[in-house]
Amino acid sequence: MLTSEEFRLRFPALRDMTYLASCSQGALSDTLATALLEFQHTLLRYGAPWERWMGQVDTARRLFAEMINADADEVAVLPTVSAAAYQVASTRDFAARPTIVTTDMEFPSVAHVWLAQRANGAAVRHVADRSGVVPAEDYIAAIDETCGLVSVPLISYRNGVRLPVDAVLERARAAGATTFVDAYQGAGVEPIDVREIGCDFLAAGALKYVLGIPGIAFLYVRGGLRDERDPQATGWFGRQNPFSFDSRHLDYPAGARRFESGTPAIPAAYGAVAGMTVLGSVEPKAVRAHVSELGQHAQDSLIALGERLWSPADPALRGPQVALMDADPAKLAGFLSSRGIVTSPRGDLLRIALHYYNSPEDVDTVVAAIREYRRLGG
């Protein structure tokens, strides 16, 4: 397994920039660069090598399954986590159990899918945060026997807070609700074991901490889970044999592939394989420990600078980012970018996202630049 210093060498751009935006897009690795060239090569050399391309999709499926301790037939390949959330919602019948429980800390792209189910009879119940943290007791109190679906992010995109997933899912199971976990802001830097989590569905994409590119996401579907109705968005890859080209019959596979629809984004599949291959060279627990240490260093340094933070003070609740409050985060991000520091502004926050390739020197660099920005009146 690679150390963080050895892992960093796999990312050539880090020689010239301080990259702290993995919550939006992972840094480019040498493996990803090679994989994208390989896709171009297949076009030049073979034209339309579908068997080769489908091999990449299946490899991406298998690698994601291994990452979360699932079986490959429990993983569907989809274009986005939004599509994954829609597919989950489309299989639910909200007539008997109309309530969907979510949180204000949910990513809007998923939260909007839940809101759209009001047209199908659903009633959405939101759990508010308390100063950037969502207490387990608040989530638990929102779950009752009217709940058809309980959605909880593993880590919030807003400020990197860890949600009380175990407690929420335990209560949801007791209430008989279907459970959905959005792991997008954790996959790649957090060890994930769906057998331990015990969720019905878990979704994540490849472009953030998984170190791929946009265009592909994965939906874990617990084996043996029964749908209340068939997935409503479908297509030829949602068939038992996609290459039978039977336009008169719908035959849904028994496994997670029943949630798939049209042709996967092949370049993104190459990217996902590259990202997960690179991640396969490191120990997940070591990644989490390293990121946690960097997060504490960033948190302490920024507080010492007098900055206002919205990321949790408790390291047990803080995921792979530190969230700095600012009147104009986009302006601050632009200033940092002019100094070769890449961050991710969202709303009234500047998000400083950390990965295994980051170092204490990266944290010191961004802290020094923020100090300079304030000195100049920013």
Domain positions in the chain are 4-29+283-375, 33-279
- Angstrom distance (rounded) from CA 62 to CA 73: 9
Measuring CA to CA, which residue among 271, 285, 312, 301 is closest to residue 368?
301
| CATH class label, 33-279 | alpha beta
Measuring CA to CA, which residue among 83, 215, 250, 105 is closest to residue 164?
105
Q: Which two tokens stand for residue 161?
A: 């807070």
- Angstrom distance (rounded) from CA 131 to CA 205: 28
Which residue has tokens 């050895």?
A: 6
Model pLDDT, residue 157: 97
The pLDDT of residue 184 is above 90: yes
The pLDDT of residue 85 is above 90: yes
The SS3 of residue 130 is: strand
Local structure of residue 155 (DSSP, 8 states): B
Q: Topology of domain 4-29+283-375, per CATH? A: Aspartate Aminotransferase, domain 1 (3.90.1150)
- Angstrom distance (rounded) from CA 311 to CA 324: 7
Model pLDDT, residue 66: 98
The pLDDT of residue 68 is above 90: yes
Q: What is the mean pLDDT of the chain?
A: 97
Q: Which residue has the higher pLDDT, 378 or 284?
A: 284
- Angstrom distance (rounded) from CA 286 to CA 281: 11
Measuring CA to CA, which residue among 338, 341, 67 is closest to residue 212?
67
Say if residues 347 and 158 touch (Cβ distance below 8 Å). Answer: yes
Burial class (CB in 10 A: 0-12, 13-18, 19+), 256: buried
Alpha carbons within 13 A on the beta-carbon side of 352:
33
- CB neighbours of 149 closer than 8 A, spacing ≥ 6? 88, 89, 92, 99, 100, 101, 114, 122, 177, 178, 179, 180
Average pLDDT over residues 98-116: 97
- CB neighbours of 44 closer than 8 A, spacing ≥ 6? none
Model pLDDT, residue 243: 87
For 239-276, the pLDDT digits (tens) are 999 888 989 999 999 999 999 999 999 999 999 999 99
- Angstrom distance (rounded) from CA 126 to CA 124: 6
Average pLDDT over residues 145-174: 98
Model pLDDT, residue 289: 98
Please provide the distance, in angstroms rounded to a whole number, between the alpha carbons at the two ends of the chain: 42
The SS3 of residue 107 is: coil
Q: Nearest 5°: phi and psi at 134? A: -115, 100
Q: Do domains 4-29+283-375 and 33-279 have the same CATH topology?
A: no
